Amino acid sequence: MRKRAFAQVQQEDEGSGPTPDQVLAGQQLRMFLLDRFCTGSLPGSDVAELCHYVTRAGGTGVATWALNPEQATRHGFEHIKLHAGKEYPEPDLDYVTVPLFEKRQSRRVAEKVPIMLPSTLFRKFVEVPSAQSKDEINFRKMLQKLPCYDNHPVVQRARAAGNTELVRPIALYWDGVRYSVHDSFTGFYVTDILSEQKFVSFLLRSEDMCRCGCRGWCTIFPLLDAWVQDLEKLQASLKYCVLDIQCDWPAYLEIIGGRFWNHNSHPCALCRISQDDMTADNVHSITLDNVGHLVYSSEDYNNDIGMFTREILVDTAEMLRTIARNLEYSRLDRGRHLIADLPRYGLRKNWRLEPSRRLPDVSQLEYQELPLRVIFWIAPRDARLTHMCPLFSLEGVTQDSWSIDIMHAWHLGPMQQFISLAMHSFIASGVFSPRSVNIEASELRELALLAIKAELFQFYKNLRSTDQRWREKGSEVWNLTMGMIGNEDTYNLSAKAAESHGLLRFVLWLLHKYADEFAKQPDELARKFALLTACAEAAHAMDELLELEFRQFTRQHCQALLQLYLRFLTLYLKAGGVWRPKCHLLVHMIQRALHRGNPRLYSTYRDESLNGVIAKIARSAHRSTWSNVIHWKCNFLQQKKLEDHAAEG
């Protein structure tokens, strides 16, 4: 039936046929529609129906995609994917069997999940001449004299072997993304730093994650292990090295098995600070080499893993049956744990069976061939770590590989809190309030905010006319409400990270513009505005220092950045600011800049943009073919980007 519908829209050539301009326009229309289809802007049914009407109207280039409206509604997606697949075939996917949660039957199942291995992605999109045209420029900008690259074991081995070929650095990134009201996914990506290409490797929907008590770790581990095995081969070839782990704080902790910032004993994954010490009291003792507490090093991590795991050889069927009989799933112990001591085998109650390369699915223990070595997690429930991370088995990948993201640590952290504090102070000053006395306090605040909003939009207008860079890349808020500036208990500003830069400049501009009026306020409020002004100047100076073009950061740069931040933090707290864990994390980010370079050049702004594209695609994909459709569409977009880059070059 679909073929018959397709035949109805075919047109016979008339006269001399379309002109070259019409053919070119038809090709451009074809690529435009395919681009919109792949990014989720247009469903396949709409594309097929639109092609039908374009062809009937005399258009060219899209006749093979056309279906009449009745058939387009039913078969549009399959039809477009079929014909587009002739030009952009299915990606080279591998499949890994992982435990998932089957929602309909409410049970744990083992299914194959598609994954684009890094080696496959690099072979298709990186190891081609057109993708390497910017290697020299980006090497000088990103890697030349960068300590973390020069000291990487793979780079050192390649240089010792006399390898003249450049070792290409890789960045790993993962993040959780909400793509609808009830659905979200965790995406895992790889980045080729020299060509600046970012690739989707695998995706996991939150509702598909294992629910045995492991909090999704049973599902993630086999895919991470497949990732690691492929990356090990890439590093063994001396062509690639894993240089950066780029993700936000919660995402990093989930994968490495660290504790979150509200944990009493281990609120920081990078040092041994306790929750009681997570305050502003030790700010004055912080230096570039000392955060005021012992650092949690990669050696400490390895020692903890050695203490928290026990490898057991299961060599008899009786031993296997005994262990299996005494295993149950527990939410408290995060997985399949022992419910009784087994002194005969040296096993104790509450030890958890840990996924490993030999046993990727702990539910399959009973069906394994003997002898078998399994790993039990024996750490206390309140220990620093909750599981092993296979990524740290990669050569050169340690706790120090985490390149702390400046967007989440600074732009969405203390910077936004300061902006919120300043906005509330502006409103409380009365400078922007009407002089009428018969107005409710809440209405008075709203009217003051309206006056501040008018100042903000005038500031944006002046900035667009005088600053070309802002005109090209500046991000502006479209509104300013009481809900956006947060409450006076938390000072949580609701704005995008990129918008915070402009708001910071606005706050500084407003503090200078009305400096005389603020100085006339009561002594306590006048002192607060003096502190806010100095604080805004320090924050703005930090932003300017981070605008350096190259990733290499000298010790002088890091020292200047730390001094500016400590000045900002001290003044912010004196002005009435609220201490948050990110205030502590930012110190670690600045200290790591000594080895990892300018944080702005490994921020996750572009990764977050890619998350938005994937979320849009995810909304248009059916759950039965969800991962495969996303991989196919991403493969097309990546191929199209590479072709455009080659055409420009």
List Cα–Cα distances, 155 to 138, 192, 238, 490, in angstroms.
17, 16, 7, 45
CA atoms within 13 A on the CB side of 516: 1
81, 194 Cβ separation under 8 angstroms: no
Weakest-pLDDT range from 414-418, 511-515, 554-558, 624-628: 624-628
State the Cα–Cα distance between residues 177 and 180, nearest whole angstrom: 9
Q: Cα 10–32–16 angle (5° rounding)?
A: 40
Contacts 24+ apart (CB under 8 A), 471-479: 474/501, 474/502, 475/499, 475/501, 475/502, 476/502, 477/502, 477/503, 479/453
pLDDT, residue 12, reads 41
pLDDT, residue 14, reads 46
How big is the chain, counted in residues?
649
Q: Are strands 107-115 and 94-102 parallel, antiparallel or unpaired?
A: antiparallel
Which residues are bridge partners to 342 per DSSP? 347
Model confidence band, residue 649 (pLDDT cutoffs 50, 70, 90) = low
Phi/psi at 416 (5° precision): -65, -35
Residue 309: Cβ within 10 Å count: 18
Average pLDDT over residues 19-48: 82
State the Cα–Cα distance between residues 591 and 587, nearest whole angstrom: 6
pTM score of the predicted model: 0.89
**Averaging pLDDT over each range in 1-10, 357-366, 609-618, which range is the top one?**
357-366
Query: What are 224-236's pLDDT values in tens digits?
Result: 999 999 999 999 9
Can you read off the two tokens belonging to residue 534? 């100095």
DSSP string covering 240-292: EEEEEE---HHHHHHHHTPPPTT-SS---SSB---TTT-SSTTGGG--SS--S
State the Cα–Cα distance between residues 260 and 254, nearest whole angstrom: 9
pLDDT, residue 205, reads 93
Round the average pLDDT of the chain to a whole number and report it. 90
pLDDT, residue 11, reads 45
Can you read off the two tokens belonging to residue 345? 């085998």
SS3 187: strand
Closest CA to 188 of 175, 170, 171, 179: 175
State the Cα–Cα distance between residues 480 and 492, nearest whole angstrom: 14
- Distance between alpha carbon 46 and the CA centroid of its chain, in Å? 32
Q: Cα 415–416–422 angle (5° rounding)?
A: 95
Q: Which H or E run includes 175?
A: strand 168-178
Model confidence band, residue 90 (pLDDT cutoffs 50, 70, 90) = confident
pLDDT, residue 83, reads 76
103, 562 Cβ separation under 8 angstroms: no
SS3 413: coil
Phi/psi at 113 (5° precision): -115, 130
449, 427 Cβ separation under 8 angstroms: yes
Average pLDDT over residues 495-501: 92
Average pLDDT over residues 121-142: 88
Can you read off the two tokens belonging to residue 214? 């492991």
Query: What are 472-486's pLDDT values in tens digits?
Result: 888 999 999 999 999
Weakest-pLDDT range from 163-177, 373-387, 436-450, 479-493: 436-450
Q: Peptide bond before 267: cis, by omega within 30 degrees of 0?
A: no
Model confidence band, residue 599 (pLDDT cutoffs 50, 70, 90) = very high
Query: What are 530-585's pLDDT values in tens digits?
Result: 999 999 999 999 999 999 888 999 999 999 999 999 999 999 999 999 999 999 99
Residue 632 reports pLDDT greater than 90: no
Closest CA to 98 of 190, 226, 201: 226
Burial of 147-171, coded b for 16+ CB within 10 Å and e otherwise, reads: ebbeebebbebbeeeeeeeebbbbb
pLDDT, residue 624, reads 76
DSSP string covering 135-160: HHHHHHHHTTT-HHHHT-HHHHHHHH
SS3 18: coil
pLDDT, residue 13, reads 44
Could you give the percent of the chain with pLDDT greater than 70?
96
State the Cα–Cα distance between residues 268 and 249, nearest whole angstrom: 10
Residue 477: Cβ within 10 Å count: 20
pLDDT, residue 495, reads 92
Query: What are 328-382's pLDDT values in tens digits?
Result: 999 999 999 999 999 999 999 999 999 999 999 999 999 999 999 999 999 999 9
Residue 391 reports pLDDT greater than 90: yes
SS3 527: helix
State the Cα–Cα distance between residues 615 and 184, nearest whole angstrom: 9
Report the chain's C-alpha Rg in angstroms: 29
Could you give the percent of the chain with pLDDT greater than 90?
66
pLDDT, residue 29, reads 87
pLDDT, residue 43, reads 84
